[in-house]
Structures are given as structure tokens and as C-alpha cells.
Amino acid sequence: MSRRIDAIDVVRGVAILGTLWTNIWLFTDPWGLLGGLSAVGQGGEAWIQALSQGKFLALLTLTFGVGLAIQHDSAVRRGVRWPGRYLWRAFLLLLDGVVNYILIAEFDVLMGYAVTGAIVAWLLLTRPRTQRVVIAVTGSLHLLVITGLALLLTTVPPSEPPTGVSPYASESFLGLAAFRLENVLAFRAEPVLIGCLSIAMFLLGAHLHRAGVFAEAGARIRRRLMLLGGLALPVDLALGGLGGEAGVLLQRYAIAPLVALGLLALLAELCLRRGTDGWAPRRLREVGRVALSAYLLQNLLAGAVFYGWGLGLAELLGELRTPVTLAAWAAISAAIVLAAHLWLRRFRLGPVEWLWKRGEQLLPERRRADAPVP
């Protein structure tokens, strides 16, 4: 079990740092998320962005599903009611997301994960066949919506970048917080758009964990997933590098999740073959153990470097945007890895994880009526 948990932490650590690779381009755009699809890179920049677009977000979503399955299995073993206290945990995650959204990053994923987790927690009580049907239905609905939007994008002129003074350059820290609140409907559109996909990916993560994707016996599953991801990758990169706005939409929300499944299997295979005790796996495990804290910190650091309330570098990059973006990703990732390592040398949980744990303990667990007395 310990080896399996270590592998999951490695995957989660990769997902966290990979999510920064995706989001860092929003921080270095002078208009941030308002740049929208007009911020899609050209030439070499488009291909570099395509390498990370959507894949690590999907990988992170899968790991949340894995974590949910582990918590459910633990509740069953201990005779605790389910979803029971997990719904309180989901509410606390929602609060974390609200704080992240208002103060740090308008592209927060935690709020969506909290809502999805609460839904999937109930779905885990159903039969595996029912869960597979839900995966198929929600996945199909999502694909239908994304395909329709992509077709719509091909009929309209490419979006123009915003003009004037960017709030990301001119507003203070609290001014940006107020700006996010004023535009909450627009900025929270993505979690709604991918709601069906999130449910499917959570359930897939739970299903793959129980099917043994992190176990020695799961070699066949891993091979199939790696084949799927390998076949999807060229399509993914072509859409991102050559497909324009419609292509990026399809890449991020339709093809990248397939690549993420292959990436999950590849990382699990590497952990099983080579172990998780090497220097790099240990550092990734540490990031994975403090994933919530790392996610918030990396967004805060990026904002401090590129937004106007900090150094304000996004407005100054010009032609240097691509190399500076990559350098910033490497530097912030290194800072996150170092912070996780130093913190865990002294503490068992990350700071946000500790607060989450203490908040969870405010609500006592209730045992099932049919559970044996320990």
C-alpha cells in the first residue's frame, strides 16, 4: 500500500507542477485570462503551449478521483458512513477555492473540484456498471458540447486582443480581488463548461485505482492507457500547434484528457519499475503530499512576479515572453520543490492541508448502523 501511495503522490506532484506550466502563460499575458483564445501563441510559442495545454489539469482531476476512491475505501473498512464527513471536506475545499479565486487566481480549479467531489461521492455508492454508464453519458455530453463550440468558433472571425489599460497591470492586490468578484460569472464559466468532463474524470480516476493501475497486477491496463495516450498525443499537438482557436478548444477539452490517461499510466509504470526513492521521485512525492499548499503558493508567486501589484513583468516582456515564461516556470517550480522539501522535514502536513485537517475534525464521524463495534 505504501508503494502505491508513493506513486500516487508522484503523479500528483507532476500534475501540480504541470498545471503551473499551463497557467504560467496566463500570468505572462498582459491581459491574463481576459486574453482568452486571442492569447493563443503563434509559431514556436504555440507548440510550446500545446505541450502542456489541458493535459496536466486532466491529470490533476484524475488524481482527485483516485484520492476520493481511497477515502471511500477507508470509510468502508472503518464502518464509517459515506459520504458522511466527506461532504464537509468538500465544503472546506470549496472555501479554499473561493479564497484562491478572490485573492490569487481567477482560473481556480478547487471550487469545481469541490462540487464535483460532492457529486461523485454519492455516485461511488452505486454499482460499478452504473458508474461506467455515468462516465459514458457525461463524457459523451461533454464531447458534444465542445465539438459544437469548436464548430461555432470556425464560423466567427478570430477574437481580437483587448485594448486599453489592463487591470492586471494597473490594479492593486485588493483591486484585482474586487475585479474578480465583479466578473465572477465570466471567470467561473470554465468549471461549468467542463462539469460533465470533471465527473467523468473523477469516476475514471476512482475506477482505475480500484482496477489496479498503480499495482503490479495492473500492467495490462497501463499498457492500454499508454497506447491510448500515445495515439492521442500527435492529434493533441497538431490541434494545439496548427488548429487555431477552435483547435486549442478541442485539444484542451477533448483530446488532452486522453493524453492524461496515458501519462498517468506511464508515471505509474515508471514508479513501479524504478521505484520512488530516487532524488527526483522523492521531490515529486513531497510536492504531491502538499499539493493544495503548492497549488496556492505557485499561483501567488507567479502573480507577485507578473502582476502590477508585484513586479509587473508581464507588461514588459514583449518578444521575450516565451523564454521568460519558461524560465519563470522553472524557477517557480524549483521554489515549490524546495519549499515542500524544507516544510516536510519539520511538519507532516502542508499548511493548507493542516488547516483542512483541523477543519475536518470539527465534524465527528458517524458509524454505519450495520458496522461492527470495534
Distance of CA 240 to the CA centre of its chain: 19
The pLDDT of residue 302: 98
The pLDDT of residue 373: 45
Distance of alpha carbon 314 from alpha carbon 312, whole angstroms = 6
| Neighbour-count burial for 268-303, b at 16+ CB within 10 Å, e otherwise | bbebbeeebeeeebebbbbbbbbbbbbbbbbbbbbb
Beta bridge partners of 80: 367
Please, what is the end-to-end C-alpha distance for the chain in angstroms?
23
Is 373 buried (19+), middle (13-18) or exposed (0-12) by CB count in 10 A? exposed
The pLDDT of residue 367: 67
What is the residue type of 163?
T
Local structure of residue 174 (DSSP, 8 states): H
For the chain, residues with pLDDT lower than 70 are: 1-3, 36-43, 367-374
**How is residue 200 written as a grid cell?**
467523468
Break the chain into its structural domains and give their ranges. 2-360
**How is residue 154 written as a grid cell?**
470556425
Distance of alpha carbon 324 from alpha carbon 335, whole angstroms = 16
The pLDDT of residue 363: 80
pTM above 0.75, yes or no: yes
